[in-house]
Structure 1
């Protein structure tokens, strides 16, 4: 009776399956069992894929695979395999080097020369500290000597250079505080301009217009010094400020007026604005004659 009931139930189940009545139940059972195993394996593979896909969905992965040729995938896999092998070899080499280094360190720490090396290091540290103190003393002495030399040179500056520096300061409108005598790497004296902040600028570091102002200051200072020792000679300039702008021209006119008590400056110009600027800057201290 149980067998007949089971046969009836099997017949009913086979009737629910397409082509079930025409298929051998044993074959159908084996195929369904295989399908169940495949489904379980598929679910396991999908779980593995979700774990290693780093948040990328299966649909996105399938779309990427569809746009990539199998040959490219195989080439990429071979490249990754080679890279993994190379990394493995480097890792083995690194571990081997580390093992040798650790053994070497153990040998050095346990050897008889460790105490000697420690004593040598302590002696070297003491010597280094002594040399550092000696260097600091010499460096400080060098700075003190350099400052003393600078003060001595500044105190012995030529009065003519001092006067030229004052005229140069006026010509530049205070951009330069004066002139100074500096020394190059060969300890050769050279003329420099001293900015208001104390920076020294050599002549070749000045602009063309500033160099013209420097040369004019030197010439006026020399003529003023000469007038103090001999009969004064007039200073004649022909369109002296041709390349100057109005600001520099004004400073130049004031510099000429500054030496007017010892030297008579005479300026020829073809530009009326220079005469107007002289009247505006100097007032009654200038005589403008039209020829």
Structure 2
């Protein structure tokens, strides 16, 4: 019994120690759970399970954080490397920015684009100069420009047209002369082969000369009649011109400052065409051979003549002019404003332009009594 009692007491002591340890463990679990904000519970097992769950999540989060730290460090190293390259690039661009006078990279980009455009223009100019030199018989551009001093583009166009016509006529004459030379050589060869026919040829030549005399008299008479008839037809056409064409001729002469004297309809061609008569009264220029500024003045003259006819018929619509004088020099612009001032006395004229010097010319030519300006800011 003593032995059993001692064993029992020993077991009871061990149980008391285990309960004491369990109570201390539960207290530590509750203390840890309270510190971490785990919901209260009388059963320490539930709070321990919650703590284990949080520990697992924390360990997983720590693993992710470690991976993110590694990635962040890698990205930071890359950023530092890119910043170093950017600093090196900016150092390299500093001298270029100083040369171009650029205060920022954006301004430098614009300067680079302008440089590319300028290089393209220089290449185009070089191509044009080479083409001009090739077409100018090997003369330099300076020599060609000096040869153009004092040359009127309209006169040059008319001269070119006249020379083209003369060249075509001379080529036709050369072809005819070549054909006649071939016939003569063949005739001469036949005479050498048959000498007996020389007498007959001489007789035929005398008869031909006699016939040529008669035919020459007839040709001179018919030619004189044709010239007289053509002159009479031209006089009739001039006296019975369309009033609109007559007025357009007057306006065209004014707008070209007398470079062109009148307009004429060529009715002898396959289809009637409009021609310009130069100030010498003889030289005629086709519309296609006129300069761009002259064709603008021709169109304006025809348009104003039509407007004046409409106004005379009672149709008084405003005349709208949108930068008509872009291809005019100052003298022709003054002439244009004088014509528009005359039209403004019968109907309203609205002239739109973004060139300040044209507005100044208009004020000086038109006068304050019929002129008013409106500037759009």
Cα offsets for 1:250-287 (capped at 9, x unmatched): 12111111222222211122222112111222333541
- Matching of residue 191 in structure 1 with residue 191 in structure 2: no
Q: Distance in 2 between matches of 1:139 and 1:149?
A: 15
Equivalent residues in 2 for 1:113-262, closer than 5 Å: 114=199, 119-186=203-270, 188-198=271-281, 199-262=283-346
Deviations 1:131-150 (A, max 9, x none): 11111111111111111111
Q: TM-score normalised to the size of structure 2? A: 0.45
Taking structure 1 as the reference length, the TM-score comes to 0.57
Q: Secondary structure at the match of 1:217?
A: helix
User: How big is the shift at 1:247?
Assistant: 2.1
Contact 1:181/1:190, CA 8 A, preserved across alignment: yes
Contact 2:292/2:327 (<8 A) preserved: no
- Secondary structure of the structure 2 residue equivalent to 1:167: helix
The separation in 2 between residues aligned to 1:224 and 1:193, in whole angstroms, is 21
Distance in structure 1 (CA, Å) of the matches to 2:273 and 2:331: 29
Deviations 1:141-174 (A, max 9, x none): 1111111111111122100111111111111111
Answer yes or no: is the 8 Å Cα contact 1:184–1:190 preserved in 2. Answer: no
Corresponding residue number in structure 2 for 1:276: 360
Change in Cα spacing, 1:117 to 1:263, as seen in structure 2 (3 Å) is same
Unaligned runs of 5+ in 1: 1-103
For 2:86, the equivalent position in structure 1 comes to none
Deviation of the 1:129 alpha carbon: 0.9
* Residues 1:172 and 1:113: Cα distance change in structure 2 (over 3 Å): closer
For 2:336 and 2:201, locate their aligned partners in 1 and report how far apart those are by CA, in whole Å. Answer: 74
Deviation at 1:119, TM superposition (A): 4.5
| 1:118 Cα deviation after fit | 5.1
Q: Structure 1: how far apart are the matches of 2:342 and 2:272?
A: 28
The whole-number CA distance in structure 2 between the counterparts of 1:246 and 1:122 is 68
Give the conservation status (yes or no) of the 8 Å contact 1:195–1:201.
yes
List alignment gaps of at least 5 residues for structure 2.
1-190
Q: Give the Cα separation in 2 of the matches to 1:259 and 1:163.
A: 13
Q: Aligned partners of 2:216 and 2:245: how far apart in 1?
A: 42
User: In 2 relative to 1, CA 228–131 (structure 1 residues): closer, same or farther, beyond 3 Å?
Assistant: same
How many residues are paired up?
183
1:257 to 1:117, Cα distance in 2 relative to 1, 3 A: same
